[in-house]
Structure 1
Amino acid sequence: MPLTDLLAAVRTQVLPAADRDSVLQAAARLLACREANAEQIYQNLCQREQLGSTAIGHGIAIPHGRAPLLERPRGALLRLETPVDFGGDEPVDLVFAIAVPAHYTHQHLMLLSELAELFSEPSVRQALRDAHDGQALRQVLELSPPASAA
């Protein structure tokens, strides 16, 4: 699945988060296809963070994990009103969480690579930070195709 397909189905939210755990909980709720699935996704995101921070620099984190109940990858973009510590070199205020089906291996890595490429663009990061709500975040994504698609 190319990133452009995932971006079409991404859920977005501006969030007043207190810490990394509250961010991961909010992301899991957005990623879940049903309530029971949210707890499993949250646990998988936390387990991945225990392996090492998913912060990639520039105030961005890409928490990710597998979700056996999903049939397709799901994404959630969160802009945090106050940056939080994600265990990286700097606090994080932009979070793009993804959950992928258990059978995704290569596709999972490709999505992470394409997201990192998207967020490497200073203009994209600034536009996301300037977005005042979830709708504005979505518009930035729709207007910012990955560099590999250009």
Structure 2
Amino acid sequence: MELTRLLSVTRTQCGVDVTSKKRALERMSEQLMADTRAGGDATRAIFEGLIVRERLGSTGLGRGVALPHTRSPDIETPRAALVRLNTPIAFDAADSQPVDLLLALLVPEHSNDEHLRILARLAELFRDEHLCTRLRQCRSDAELYATMTGSDDGAPDA
């Protein structure tokens, strides 16, 4: 899985201010559809899908990271959105730690195996404490995108 196929700078935001899990999921829904022609109904359906998934159990991985995910009939290929929050929020993670790094995944409605493979790979990436530290040090959308996708030298600009 190449992150550059899932993520774009348009769907990457550094330094976001939200105060709740619900607002974070709303923001992620908007970002997931930011560079499409889909309207508000598609964005609302994605938000509702993320909420339903969270009711099944938190997608908070621990150590300040969450991977909210859902499916959509409005897309043909998987896509992701990445956010680094300015202030961590409660997310009901297994370790009870607040979340400041969120990567939301949206996959086509009938994409079962691919959905699971992508989630497993993303969870593996976020187990890398060095990567998470570097993501938290980013100061721009472009830097956050480059750090996540590995398209930089690994050192944030001072």
**Consecutive aligned runs of 4 or more in structure 1 exceeding 2 Å deviation:** 3-10, 33-36
How far apart, in 2, do the equivalents of 1:91 and 1:63 lie?
Answer: 14
How far apart, in 1, do the equivalents of 2:7 and 2:114 lie?
Answer: 17
Query: Offset at 1:139?
Result: 1.0
Query: Offset at 1:103?
Result: 1.1
Query: Offset at 1:12?
Result: 0.4
| Preserved contact between residue 4 and residue 149 of structure 2 (Cα < 8 Å) | no
Q: Which stretch shows the higher mean deviation, 59-68 or 5-14?
A: 5-14
1:109 to 75, 100, 116: 116
Query: Offset at 1:7?
Result: 4.0
Query: Offset at 1:141?
Result: 1.6
Ranges in structure 1 where 5+ consecutive residues have no aligned partner: 145-150
Query: What is the TM-score with the length of structure 1 in the denominator?
Result: 0.90
Match of 1:142 in 2: 149
How far apart, in 2, do the equivalents of 1:137 and 1:22 lie?
Answer: 21
How far apart, in 2, do the equivalents of 1:134 and 1:5 lie?
Answer: 14
| Preserved contact between residue 46 and residue 70 of structure 2 (Cα < 8 Å) | yes
Q: How does 1:1-150 map to 2 (within 5 A)?
A: 2-9=1-8, 11-14=11-14, 15-32=16-33, 33=36, 34-36=38-40, 37-88=42-93, 89-143=96-150
**How many residues are matched?**
144
- Residues 48 and 8 (structure 1), Cα distance of their counterparts in 2 relative to 1, 3 Å cut: closer
Query: What is the TM-score with the length of structure 2 in the denominator?
Result: 0.85
How far apart, in 1, do the equivalents of 2:60 and 2:27 lie?
Answer: 17
| Preserved contact between residue 7 and residue 142 of structure 1 (Cα < 8 Å) | no
Ranges in structure 2 where 5+ consecutive residues have no aligned partner: 152-158
| Preserved contact between residue 29 and residue 35 of structure 1 (Cα < 8 Å) | no
- What percentage of residue pairs aligned between the two structures are identical? 36
| Preserved contact between residue 65 and residue 102 of structure 2 (Cα < 8 Å) | yes
